[in-house]
Structure 1
């Protein structure tokens, strides 16, 4: 059994080396679509071509970044169609699986009764020691998230713009597919590393800055719900621990 990892990227030089170091540990095939990066993103991807089975495509996004101007489902369905493995994992470039994923993956893929897997989604907030968790009226931050499915059974993205949604064959609900939750976290590092903000992040005013310009304000008090955090009690994946050690050595 084999796994294809698919991910779209745009100006992700902070995360792409970490991401590639992680997914090359378990992916048989990596399909990346670049939306027109002008930083070192593509350079990093090219540097990994000799280390892994990476297929890089370009689909330049036009219009307002990370908004409904982007035809994101078209890009993601393109990658789904190109995938040749038995299973597909859709990961964003700032998402890193816990190290245990590589250990459990063969068992997951051999389970003939399952078509879909979901994983605990852990969102780091402000730094690598803090996570954001659910609060009343704010259900986005600590849910299980669907990130892996069986290839070749008609699962694809609904034809919509940004915030595209997976659906089963014939447009039926993905949640009707045989599925289970796997107790291996998927860590989201976007709000803890690099600039910690990009255009489109602040649609809900969680970061307190207009149009995502300037420094994110992690002390911001939202008008409609509490922004609740907790101390991270787990262990970071090896690639993140290596990054921390490297940064400490440079300080």
Structure 2
């Protein structure tokens, strides 16, 4: 989200060596929004921190006011579109945190001893403060998408929920299982138990919309 005074939005897309048409799908969804695409001939995900730093460097070239950092398989509830302008108008908040739900199919997310990301709020929307010195977590995997000292800025939790659809398709789960076993074989940066649980055929699932009704 770019432009002082919210005059316009801009998207910065890092095509990290994708082998499908992800970038083209993004262009179609963005429907005419100004877009800059940076294409990596070879994926940098084997050293994720390098990719995250690249995202930040390319995005701040636009001198943005706010930065919304989403992966291609993450989708907000419709409320976000309706309320985001109100959120970023609050001059006392620089960081908004949201709950991310790991979907296992189109309607249900997973919850068990290994899958509980939605129980915590993580930063996805950050005001760009020129001169803020980023201190990154230099782990090659599971390093976080923003600098780890971002919480030094005033922050707030939002109840707008974020869907993570990257675990819905079986072929995607298998690809991620193989990738993590290759990139983190000893579970140094994550959990071997969680990696192995990716293959579970019948995990505990909760209906996303039923959860919402219970808490309204």
Q: Same fold (TM over 0.5)?
A: yes
Gaps of 5+ in 2: 3-7, 185-191
Q: How many Å apart are 1:193 and its aligned residue?
A: 4.1
Q: By percentage of residues, which structure has more helix?
A: 2
Q: How many Å apart are 1:105 and its aligned residue?
A: 0.8
Residue in structure 2 matched with residue 95 of structure 1 by the alignment: 74
Instruction: Mark the CA change 1:157 to 1:42 in structure 2 (over 3 Å): closer, same or farther.
Output: farther
| Whole-angstrom distance in 2 between the partners of 1:53 and 1:194 | 34
- Cα RMSD over matched residues? 3.3
2:137–2:147 Cα contact (<8 Å) kept: no
Q: How many Å apart are 1:81 and its aligned residue?
A: 2.3
Residue in structure 1 matched with residue 40 of structure 2 by the alignment: 59
Residue deviations 1:110-154, cap 9 Å, x none?
Answer: 1010010001211112x123211253x765453212101101342
Instruction: Mark the CA change 1:96 to 1:175 in structure 2 (over 3 Å): closer, same or farther.
Output: same
TM-score under structure 2 length normalisation = 0.72
The answer on 1:133 being equivalent to 2:111 is yes
| Whole-angstrom distance in 2 between the partners of 1:229 and 1:50 | 34
The answer on 1:37 being equivalent to 2:15 is no
Superposition pairs for residues 61-76 of structure 1, below 5 Å?
A: 61=42, 66-68=45-47, 71-76=50-55
| Whole-angstrom distance in 1 between the partners of 2:124 and 2:98 | 7
Q: How many Å apart are 1:66 and its aligned residue?
A: 3.8
1:133–1:142 Cα contact (<8 Å) kept: no
Match of 2:147 among 138, 153, 167: 167
| Whole-angstrom distance in 2 between the partners of 1:155 and 1:98 | 32
Instruction: Mark the CA change 1:141 to 1:207 in structure 2 (over 3 Å): closer, same or farther.
Output: farther
| Whole-angstrom distance in 1 between the partners of 2:31 and 2:83 | 26
Match of 1:233 among 202, 209, 213: 209
Residue in structure 2 matched with residue 189 of structure 1 by the alignment: 165
Instruction: Mark the CA change 1:147 to 1:59 in structure 2 (over 3 Å): closer, same or farther.
Output: same
Q: How many Å apart are 1:67 and its aligned residue?
A: 3.0
2:17–2:41 Cα contact (<8 Å) kept: yes
Q: How many Å apart are 1:207 and its aligned residue?
A: 6.2
Q: How many Å apart are 1:35 and its aligned residue?
A: 1.9
1:115–1:149 Cα contact (<8 Å) kept: yes
Instruction: Mark the CA change 1:194 to 1:87 in structure 2 (over 3 Å): closer, same or farther.
Output: farther
The alignment covers a number of residue pairs equal to 192
Q: How many Å apart are 1:195 and its aligned residue?
A: 3.0
| Whole-angstrom distance in 1 between the partners of 2:108 and 2:26 | 29
1:90–1:147 Cα contact (<8 Å) kept: yes
Residue in structure 2 matched with residue 18 of structure 1 by the alignment: none
Residue in structure 2 matched with residue 242 of structure 1 by the alignment: none
Q: How many Å apart are 1:53 and its aligned residue?
A: 1.1
1:73–1:158 Cα contact (<8 Å) kept: no
Q: How many Å apart are 1:159 and its aligned residue?
A: 6.2
| Whole-angstrom distance in 2 between the partners of 1:234 and 1:155 | 42
